[in-house]
Structure 1
Amino acid sequence: MSGRDLRALFSTNDRGLTAAEAFTNRELQWDLVGAALAEHLRRIADPGFSVEDLEAARDNVIVFHGVGGIGKTTLSRKLEAALTGAEHRPVQWGEPAWSNERFLPIRIDLARSAGTDFERLVLTIRLALAGLGRPLPAVDIALRRYWEHNHPGEPLEEYLRRGGLAGRFGQAGQQQMQSALSDVAQALLLPGTVGSAVGQVTSSLVRALRERRQTVRALAGCARLADLLEAEPDLEALSFYPHLLSWELARLPADKQVTPVILLDTFEDIGDRTHRDFERLLQRVVWLMPNAVFVITGRSRLQWADEALQGQLDFTGPAAWPGLATHDLEPTHTTSSADGRARQVLIGDFSPEDCEDYLARRLARDGQPLISDDIRRVITGRSHGLPLYLDLAVMRFLELRRSGRTPTPADFDHDFPALIARTLSDLTPDERHVLRSVSLLDAFDLALATRAAGMTHEAPAMRLIERPFVRENRFGLWPFHLHALIRSTIRNADDQTDDRWSPNDWAGAAERAFAALGEQWSTSPQDRLLLIGCLRQGLRLARDFRLGLDWLAGAAWAYVSDSIWEPLAPPAPNGPAATGLETAADALVETLSTLGRRQHEHRERTLDRLTAVIDSGLLPTDLHEMAVYYQAKAQRDLGHSDDSRRGMQLVADGDGRLAPAARRGLAHLARLAGDFPTALATAHTLGWSGRHHRVEGDVWWVQAEMHRAATAYEAARGEAEEHGVAGERATCQAQRAFVLAFTDPDVADDELELAQQLLSGLDLRATGLTTQIAALLRDAGTTADLEDRATILRTEISIAGLASVEATLELAMAFHYAVRGTHDQLLATISRLREITRSGDYAYYIPIAHFMGGLDLPTGHGSQARWLDGEQPTRARWHGLVTARRDHLRTAP
């Protein structure tokens, strides 16, 4: 190609239009390599550079990464050819500034199919240097010793011949490696028979090096040679031998100087993000050869600059690898980034900026982009970075102009059916069938893809996942997913292919995929990650294809049982059913979405959404009661106690799955009204399903019986652990930390730490706020910033719409002011409590605040709460907590 887009040029009569060639050549990547090599040459020419400096940062790595099938291997091969000689360089790639320098490209394929192990990698690098025509005795003796120790009876020459390395690099390297022994033996004046034994030569050489004999002065300059020869010649030692290679290269005479450029392709095949054994050895090679340049191509960014990998790799962090710590270099750059060190380059799908740049340059007149800004933005958004989509959009632009219309942004707000034909063109019929089936799924594995396609064998799915439009996430629940644009196009564009699907075909595939998800969940119903994944995909299929609930009902109950509340809502549907509730699946999606979102929305919003579901009447009885129960909880949180009581009673009378929880809710409502005897009596009847111990704790702490409450919460936490309910366990521990924060700040500190650990990974907004209030109680009477922290908390609580938590926060502040003896601030807090508890719920917090401060109650207020053992004992206990905290602060160091 000459750089002209002939299709574009032959699509118009406009001779003033210029069209740039699409998606080939990788000139920008070549420019980056050229700039990096030029910088490398300047660095190693610096008088202060030393290959034996093992602490200096490394900038000798360039990384090209991107999705499979995008041309990384082709790029690696082109770079190898271009560095071999100008005659092999693609004509589109310009003349580099360093054309007179000597580079030695060494390309190594790390793909599993290539069978490259670490031994082969090191030997390949060594043999590639044989063309220098110079002996490299330091590394050759070490390699000989390693080989004899680890491969007794297998001549190295035979291994090289059988593995193809001898044919690739010739005999010179083998001869140099063999002669190294003889040369050293001769220098040491060893007998010929002894000189042929690697062990004898190396032991004698080590002694000579240690004794600084003149006979080995040529090798004595390598300070670490003796140490390496004395070390056990295992794989670990082998990974340090490249230091010897680097040292040998550095001492070559000027006319023999060469810079190795080692191209490591298919880097993703040396392991994964958990098993880094090969990567650790390979990284050591890169670090120990600072005078070589390494060009790495693979699917993922190189993580060496991530400090979190410390301990898994030898050299980590941005200080060690400054060029790897920056963001991906954008293809619009022709050199490294502003700091001169950017060395990670994303190839493949374009970033939005790359898409806009490509579209601006693709068609031009008089040096100005032909495609307007607003059209470029629409195309970029629809493309998902796929180069093919950009290409098709450009051709559509020219087609519209040819028809006499001026293109508008709306002309590009759709998928291209041509993408389907281009995607399916080289697939077998079975692979096409699997592709359409998995387009219904966000992610899949081989079993799910096969089942969704209705096939009895996995071979078509196995072939499909090797295609470049199928992405792999090894750490995902299901490892594979389609490129977003390909998936969208297959699902939504008009499909004119010969084997296109009818609506019934799509419905059948949806039913199979839905059933397959249910089967996968049923195999491991206790696996929370699997449950969430199946629910997210199953809810979408059931909603979009109007399927029955089937296994979704059981999965919904499993979802709410742990009180973790991961987000579940699938994307909004398209078409006429995009609004409103029309099926049971619509109602269930809305219910579970609301329950997950209630941790992030005001309770009024939660109440409105659940009310709409209940009014629709679409859910079966048990799931309808689920919506009613959580509606009643939202009403309670908002202070609508009468409405909440009616909902809880309805669910309790129904005697369904949530009846024990509803009875617990009624006990909570009794406690909110200050009827503590009734609440405690009800708690004794609830059992584990009604969370009896937690309800008991809730009653005991407002009596200032903190140790009894803490014991109850501990028992509740233990039951939650036995039943494997993570959310309940965290809630009980948070409550335990809260009550102990009144009595012992040191103990509370430990309990809070445990609560925060148990909350990790859970989405429990109210419980998280409880831990923050507990931290305030722990610090009551001390820290100067406590009021500022309370102000921030008030804002968070207001956003959440949690009236109960708001009252508890003010009670905690009342404790703080009572401990400090600040009468005016305590009265102001009591005033806020009076406003918050105007509905009657939590009104007993007002007398508790008076008890704390030793204040008399307003006339008639004392009879509103039914304390378990009367008002005076309760008053004494609350005031005792305040005096105990004052004593603690006086005696604290």
Structure 2
Amino acid sequence: MAGRDLRALFGSNDRGVTAGEAFTNREGQWQLVAAALTEHLQQLAQPGFRIDDFEAPRRNLLAFHGVGGIGKTVLSRKLESTLKDTTDRPAQWGAPVWPAGWRIWPVRIDLARSAGTDFEHVILTIRLALAELGHPLPAFDIALRRYWERQHPGEPLEEYLQRSTLTTRFGKNLPQQMQSALSDVAQALLLPGTVGTVVGQVTGSLVSALRERRQSVQALAGCARLADLLEAEADLDALSYYPHLLAFELAQLPADKRVLPVILLDTFEDVGDRTHRDLERLLQRLVWLMPNSFFVITGRSRLQWAEPALEGQLDFTGPHAWPGLAAHDIPLPRPATGTSRGRQILVGDFSAEDCEDYLARRLTTPSGQPLLPAGLRAEIAARSHGLPLYLDLAVMRVLEIRRTGRIPVPADFDGGFPALITRTLQDLTPEERHVLRAASLFDAFDTELVVTTAGLTHEGAARRLIERPFVRDNPFGLWPYYLHALIRTTLRTAPDATDDTWTPTDWTQAADRALTSLGTQWQAHTGPGGRRLLVGALRQGLALARDFHLDLGWLADGAWAYVGDSVWEPLAPPAPHRPGPARLETAADALVELLSTLARRQHQHRSHTVARLTAVIDSQLLPDDLHHMALYYRAKAHRDLGNSPASRTGMQAVADGQGRLAPAARRGLAHLARMAGDFPTALTTARTLGWNGRHHRVQGDIWWPHGDMDRAATAYAAARDEAENHGVTGERGNSQAHRAFALAFTDPSVADNELALAEHLLAGVDLRATTLITHIAALARDAGRTDADIDHRAQVLRAEITAAGVTYTELALDLALAFHYAVRNDQDQVAATIARLRDNTRGDDFAYYSDIAAFMADLPPEEASPTRWIDGPERARTRWHTLVNARRAHLNET
């Protein structure tokens, strides 16, 4: 620990409890940097310091790590600007005093993948930055020139630098300095003047002179490993050792010209991962081989260099090599006093592992064991969302509870900490506080939403707020910004004792503005992505209306738009903030439950759908049109479960209501007539339905049981095209799936194409029953084949159908099996399938399925059928038996 927590120390009579101090702010981080630099400069001034001691521990770095968006890059940039120009230092940051005779020379390098930074770029950036010092660095420059000519033949370094942005940033001194170094060495070696530009000849002669210890190269002879580096293959691995030459040259600078490069490596998380450490290994060498420089590394993850387990992946590992980076050394953001502490600092959020580790070491018993049990630590860590301040406040609550003589339990942390609000708001302007509270109403937001919700007329405060570290950025999100989860929850639920707190009325009025703003964005959006915006607006708007008991407003129209596309994306908003079990109290509660049920029904047994919709209907909270929506979809679920009387009652009630779903309900009645085998009535009704009643698809459903597959396929194609013209994605995919099913009994090659199109149209559409139909169609397409494993595939499908509770789909599966057995002339299996179909259709619904199975095998009916065929049973029998014979002929040909 970095120090004692005096607040905790004086919060308990138990002297056996040890508390480490936590302190997190950027001023503390600056103090850490300043203290570490001062300490490092003092170390460089020690008589025994050597840049070629490759065994001594390294303390020449600080590592700041934390979650994305917490401000690490901002900190890195501010450190660079402050070290470069002290007038740019924030007022609250203390003025550093460096030892006399030293200049601080910052060099910041962004390692982000988007910046395209590789190790060459890192080395060139450092060298170009040092070129501004105006001192030649011949040992390094000769090695770098040799490397460049070997690795980039035909591309002069000067031209490369001219094309890059580095010369704009650092100037153009490097090429002249490198050329001067080559010429000076060539002259010292008495080489001809023209040879001074040929790096290969200079290098070879220099190596010989170094080996022979010639007086002419005495200035370079002090670098004992120069000759070895110049003789080594000039590849990337060798380049990673050249920083030793930079360290040597910096050590040769006169006392009045001494400089400490401070190299800030930002976005270190993009260097690699825990499996691929190639670039990390090269960068670690850079840090190790330049002990007279200082490195500030910022990234999302803790540096693992002190872990012995990395031996072999990295060159220098273990706590001896990096005393300040040990895994169990949990330095907190406050100035460190020892050389082995404060080298790894967490900025902002902790990882889940760090949260538990923090809590385990924050309060300890006299024996050094964690005071908090593992279960309580895990609970607190989960609720903290990684926020260090929450952990600190939780520790204080633990001590407060212990003062009462009680043992803390997880329920003690159900409520938020008001101090989180105070500390979050303390450095915000009044307008920024206003916008922050408005932002807490949203899962995600943009500036337009929060400005409108806050009731402001300008967005300056919102623009400033999104720069704060507790506002996260998701450029791929529907709305690009969201609050730190814990801060948002605390603002919404914890008591707010600040001077400008919002009253319940303020919150309700802001929520109403937020709901209106979401609806305005959706209603104004006419381009691509409208469906995604609708779902996002509904998810957030439903939660607002539910939590603040608002009128439905545009949510009713949004619900109809959501249902109309039949896509069924997950829509359940987050659980309500109010305590206790979910219950239906308002129209918004009922609408949330209605739409959530409709989306979830694709993944639940239809009996669950019926129960949930019944609760919505019985609540009588919805307006009439939405009440009819619940009635209609409950009737559909009853139909799927085989409960035709209940389905017919519901459909008739909706049809009689003459509302938006009346055409769909009349379609449902047509389906029920078809299910009962009354095809003439179903066909007559279908012809009156029009587009809203999906007339073409209903007619296709009537023609395929008659074995008239071409007529059915034509009707389904018309239904698909009509749905596409109306922009109804789900209906388009549904119609195509049924077209594929009908044609699967005819030509397998045609069915292949139709199934492929159906799968394409259903991609991203959550229609479970329709997807099952495509799988059954694939069985019918393969019927008769010995290599198709039909029985096993049917067994898997039957299990899926049972789980879904869509009983009629199992009948279609058995029909496809009957077709397969009829083609193979397996009379026993045909008979068994017919018996199973009769057992499953005892209530007269779908009784014609067993008739069709008998038609396929040209078997006489065993009992009178209630089915009313449009053109009589014999024609239907002929068409189905013809399909079986055609499939046999097709298989014989192939």
Q: Shorter chain as normaliser: what TM range?
A: 0.7 to 0.9
For residue 676 of structure 2, what is the amino acid of its counterpart? A
Q: In 2, distance between residues paired with 1:606 and 1:405?
A: 46
Moved more, 837-846 or 396-405: 396-405
Q: Secondary structure at the match of 1:501?
A: coil
Query: Which residue is equivalent to 1:889?
Result: 891
Name 2:791's counterpart in structure 1: 787
TM-fit CA distance, 1:378: 2.9
Name the counterpart of 1:137: 145
CA positional deviation for 1:538? 0.7
Aligned residue type for 1:163: R
* SS in structure 2 of the partner of residue 742 of structure 1: coil
The partner residue of 2:813 within 790, 809, 813 is: 809
Give the structure 1 partner of residue 659 of structure 2. Answer: 656
Asked whether 1:829 is paired with 2:833, we answer yes
Q: What does residue 92 of structure 1 align with? A: none
Aligned partner of 2:505 in structure 1 is 504
* Residue 96 of structure 1: aligned partner: none
CA deviation vs aligned residue, 1:799-857 (integer Å, no higher than 9, x gap): 21111111111111111222222222222221221122122111100110111122111
Residue pair 1:648, 1:662 contacting (<8 A) in 2 also: yes
Unaligned runs of 5+ in 1: 31-44, 46-61, 82-103, 221-242, 271-277, 303-320, 324-330, 336-344
Is 2:361 aligned against 1:361?
Answer: yes
> Residue 406 of structure 1 corresponds to which residue in structure 2?
407
Q: Does residue 442 of structure 1 match 2:448?
A: no
Secondary structure in 1 aligned to 2:573? coil
Change (3 A) 1:112 1:830: closer
Which residue number in structure 1 is paired with residue 847 of structure 2? 843
Q: What amino acid sits opposite 2:416 in the alignment?
A: D
Structure 1 residue 128 displacement after superposition: 5.6
Written as runs of structure 1 = structure 2, the 5 A alignment for 1:644-793 is: 644-782=647-785, 783=787, 785-793=789-797
Give the conservation status (yes or no) of the 8 Å contact 1:67–1:468: no
Change (3 A) 1:784 1:109: closer
Equivalent AA in structure 2 for residue 868 of structure 1? I
Does the 8 A contact of 2:119 with 2:279 survive in 1?
Answer: no
Q: What does 1:457-476 correspond to in 2, within 5 Å?
A: 457-476=458-477
- 1:477-556 to structure 2, matched below 5 A, reads 477-524=478-525, 527-556=530-559
Tell me: CA distance 1:372–1:882, structure 2 relative to 1, closer, same or farther (3 Å). Answer: same
- Tell me the residue number matched to 1:249: 239
Match of 2:94 in 1: none
Structure 2 equivalent of residue 387 of structure 1: 388
Q: Between Structure 1 and Structure 2, whose CA radius of gyration is higher?
A: 2
1:290/1:546 CA distance change after superposition, 3 Å: closer
Residues of 1 paired with 2:167 and 2:201: CA distance? 37
* One-letter amino acid of the structure 2 residue matched with residue 728 of structure 1: E
Distance in 1, matches of 2:298 and 2:532, equals 29
CA distance in 1, matches of 2:155, 2:743: 68
Task: Please identify, of 697-706 and 787-796, the stretch whose mean Cα deviation from structure 2 is larger.
Answer: 787-796
2:254 corresponds to:
none
The TM-score, its normalising length taken from structure 2, stands at 0.74
**Aligned sequence identity (%):** 57
For 1:253 and 1:322, the matched residues in 2 are separated by 20
Q: CA deviation at 1:735?
A: 0.9
Letter in structure 1 aligned against 2:239: L
Q: Secondary structure at the match of 1:471?
A: strand
CA shift, 1:785, in A, is 2.9
Equivalent pair of 1:68/1:299 in contact (CA under 8 Å): no
1:257 CA displacement: 8.7
1-structure distance, mates of 2:620, 2:775: 39
CA distance in 1, matches of 2:780, 2:359: 60
Deviation by residue 1:694-746 (Cα, 9 ceiling, x = unmatched): 11111111111112211221221111111111101111111111112111222
**Preserved contact between residue 705 and residue 877 of structure 1 (Cα < 8 Å):** yes
Which stretch shifts more, 878-887 or 467-476? 878-887
> Contact 2:670–2:682 at 8 Å: present in 1 too?
yes
Q: Distance in 2 between matches of 1:499 and 1:814?
A: 74
1:616 paired to 2:619: yes
Residues 379-402 of structure 1 show CA distances to partners (whole Å, capped at 9, x for unaligned) of: 223212222111111111112223
Tell me by how many angstroms 1:428 deviates.
Answer: 0.8
Asked if 2 retains the 8 angstrom alpha-carbon contact of 1:23 and 1:387, the reply is no
The offset of 1:512, in angstroms, is 0.8
Counterparts of 2:825 and 2:729, CA distance in 1? 40
How far apart are the structure 1 equivalents of 2:714 and 2:402? Answer: 78
2:109 corresponds to 1:108: yes
Q: Report deviation, 1:446.
A: 0.8
**Structure-2 separation of matches of 1:109 and 1:144:** 25
Distance 1:78 1:148 in 2: 32
Partner residue of 2:566 out of 540, 563, 566? 563
For residues 10-21 of structure 1, the aligned pairs below 5 Å read: 10-21=10-21
Given the superposition, is the C-alpha separation of residues 172 and 657 from structure 1 closer, same or farther in structure 2, using an over 3 Å criterion? closer
| Corresponding position of 2:339 | none
Alpha carbons of structure 1 residues 292 and 686: separation in structure 2 relative to 1, 3 Å: farther
CA deviations 1:214-237 (Å, max 9, x no partner) are 7997999xxxxxxxxxxxxxxxxx
Q: 1:490 to 1:257 in 2, by over 3 A?
A: closer
Moved more, 765-774 or 283-292: 283-292
Question: What one-letter code is carried by the residue in structure 2 that aligns with 1:883?
Answer: N
How many positions carry a matched residue from both structures? 746
Q: For structure 1, which segment, 849-858 or 773-782, has the greater mean C-alpha deviation from structure 2 after superposition?
A: 773-782
Q: What is the DSSP-based 3-state SS (H/G/I as helix, E as strand, rest coil) of the residue aligned with 2:881?
A: helix
Letter in 1 for 2:890: H
Change (3 A) 1:258 1:516: farther
Q: For residues 611 and 251 of structure 1, do their structure 2 counterparts lie closer, same or farther at Cα, with a shift above 3 Å needed?
A: closer
Give 3-state SS (helix, strand or coil) of 1:821's partner. Answer: coil
Report if aligned partners of 1:246, 1:290 keep a CA contact under 8 Å in 2.
no
Partners in 2 of 1:554 and 1:712 — Cα distance? 31
- What is residue 318 of structure 1 aligned with on the other side? none
| CA offsets 1:12-38 (integer angstroms, 9 cap, x no match) | 2322222234377999xx9xxxxxxxx
Of 253-262 and 134-143, deviating more is 253-262
Alpha-carbon contact 1:717-1:728 (below 8 Å) kept:
yes
Give the distance between the partners of 1:332 and 1:686, measured in 2 at CA: 74
The residue number in structure 2 matching 1:315 is none
Give the direction of change, closer, same or farther, for the CA distance of 1:786–1:589 in structure 2 (3 Å limit): same
* 1:591 matched residue in structure 2: 594
Q: CA deviation at 1:245?
A: 7.8
Query: RMSD between aligned alpha carbons?
Result: 4.6
- Corresponding letter in the other structure for 1:702: P
Q: Give the Cα–Cα distance (whole angstroms) in 2 for the partners of residues 659 and 386 of structure 1.
A: 53
The verdict on how the C-alpha distance between 1:11 and 1:842 changes in structure 2, with shifts beyond 3 A counting, is same
Which amino acid is the alignment partner of residue 439 of structure 1? S
Please state whether the residue corresponding to 2:109 is helix, strand or coil.
strand
SS in 2 for 1:369: coil
Amino acid at match of 1:885: R
Instruction: Name 1:820's counterpart in structure 2.
Output: 824
In the TM superposition, what whole-angstrom CA distance separates every residue of 1:232-274 from its partner, at most 9, and x where no partner exists?
xxxxxxxxxxx97837737969988999998541479x9xxxx
Tell me if the contact between 2:182 and 2:202 (Cα under 8 Å) persists in the aligned partners.
no
The residue type paired with residue 409 of structure 1 is: P
CA deviation digits over 1:662-702, x for unaligned, max 9? 22112111111111122222222222222121111111111
Contact 1:124/1:165 (<8 A) preserved: no
Closer, same or farther: CA 645–190 of 1 in aligned 2, 3 Å: farther
- 1:856 aligned onto 2:846: no
Q: 1:163 aligns with which of 169, 176, 179?
A: 169
Secondary structure at the aligned position of 2:380 is classed as helix
